[in-house]
Amino acid sequence: MTNRAEALGEVEAEFARDRFYIFKVLCPHWRVFLTQIGLGCVGAASSLRGSHKAMSNAEPRALLARGVDAWNQWRQEAESRAEASWKASDRINLREARLRQAQLSQINLSSVDCCMADLRHADLRHSNLREALLYTADLSYADLGSAILTGADLREALLHDANLEGAILNAAVLTTADLTRTVLREASLCHADLRQVRMGQADACMAQFQEANLSGTDLRGATLYTANFSKANLKEAVLNQADLREANLAMASLQDALLHGANLTAAVCSVTNLIGTAFHGATLDIANLSLANLCMANLTGTQMRGTILIGANMIGANLHRADLRGANLESTDLREAILRQANLRQANFRYANMRMAHLAEADLRGADLRGADLTHANLWGTQLEGACLVDATMPNGSVYDG
């Protein structure tokens, strides 16, 4: 009998749970309803937490219409009483809200659901949008200067021509978003997901992209002067004509990236992965590429005057007609590299490995080749006047003794 009673009790409990679930579905305002009829099954904190959940789409928009101060006061009061852990379903719903040209400066929209919202030309300066859902939202021409967007979901969002100067987007997700011509000066995008983002002609001077993922991102013509991309992933990114002067790309990956005509004057690319990267016509004067991996890189027609390439891997790299006057290639691996018609005057090749390198018609006048290995190198028509070849291994395998 006892087992039967327990079994019946479990069936009744399960039936009660099912009825309560159906009741919740049919009555979205179930928490408020239960509180009003005095059942007391919902505590004060839980009731307030549920008030966010229970609000219809129109209610938060009506509250927002009362102004930023009223909204922020309500958010502060609600969050001070609400439970510490909120679920995704507790997000305030502003989906598809029409907030074009809205004055929302310094508003607290943290964790708010603004997916597909129209925020064109909106004023969101200094606003808190931490972990906000902005998937496919239209923020074109919006002013987000100094806004906080840490952990925000901006996938496929429209941010072209927007102002994000000084904004914080650390760990934000912006995959396939449109940031064409967007201002990102001094913005922080550390650990952000920027895969396949369109950032052509964006202004990101002094922006922080440490350890961000920008693989496949289009940065054509972008201004990236002194930007920090250390340890960032820029694999297959398009940076043609980009301004990367004095940028920090140390330990970043730009494998198979396109940098045609880019300006990397004085850029830091030490220990950077540049395998197969295309630099055709780029400027790398006085850049630091020490210990960089430039295996099979295309450096045709590049300007690399005074560039530091100490210990770099340049196996099979194409430097046809490149200008490396005064460059430092000490201990660099140039096996099978193509240096035809390259200007290598006054360059430092001490202890460089140049086995089977193609140096036909190259200008090596005044170059330092002490201890270099030129075994089987092609020196047809190469100019060597004034070059120092002490202890260098010549193409025939003999050691030059002066």
Number of Cβ within a 10 Å radius of residue 18? 10
Say what the pTM is. 0.84
Note the pLDDT tens digit of each residue in 102-160: 999 999 999 999 999 999 999 999 999 999 999 999 999 999 999 999 999 999 999 99
Secondary structure of residue 233 in the 3-state scheme: strand
pLDDT one-digit tens code per residue, 55-70: 456 778 888 888 899 8
Q: Give the start-to-end residue ranges of the domains of the chain.
A: 2-47
Q: Dig out the tokens for 303 from the structure.
A: 């300007």
SS3 assignment, position 99: coil
- The three-class DSSP label of residue 393 is strand
Q: Which of 184, 187, 186, 188 is nearest to 201 (CA)?
A: 184
Distance CA 306, CA 127 (A): 46
CA distance 5 to 307: 86
CA 303 vs CA 180, 262, 284, 354: distances in Å:
28, 11, 6, 20
The C-alpha atoms of residue 371 and residue 301 are separated, in whole angstroms, by 27
Dihedral angle over CA of 149, 155, 160, 161, nearest 10: 0
Query: Rounded to whole angstroms, how far apart are CA atoms 290 and 287?
Result: 9
pLDDT tier, 29 (very low <50, low <70, confident <90, very high otherwise) = very low
Burial 76-109 (b: 16+ CB within 10 A, else e): eeebeebeeeeeeeebbbbbebebeebebbebbb
CA-based max dimension of the chain: 110
Location of structure tokens 């809205």: 102
Q: How far apart are the first and last CA of the chain?
A: 110
Instruction: For residues 72-90, give the mean pLDDT.
Output: 65
Look at residues 117, 97, 84 and name the one whose alpha carbon lies nearest to residue 56.
Answer: 97
- In tens, the pLDDT along 7-19 reads 445 544 454 444 4
Segment (H or E) for 24: helix 2-26
Higher pLDDT, 47 or 313: 313
Burial 317-336 (b: 16+ CB within 10 A, else e): bbbbbbbbbbbbbbbbbbbb
What's the one-letter identity of residue 38? G
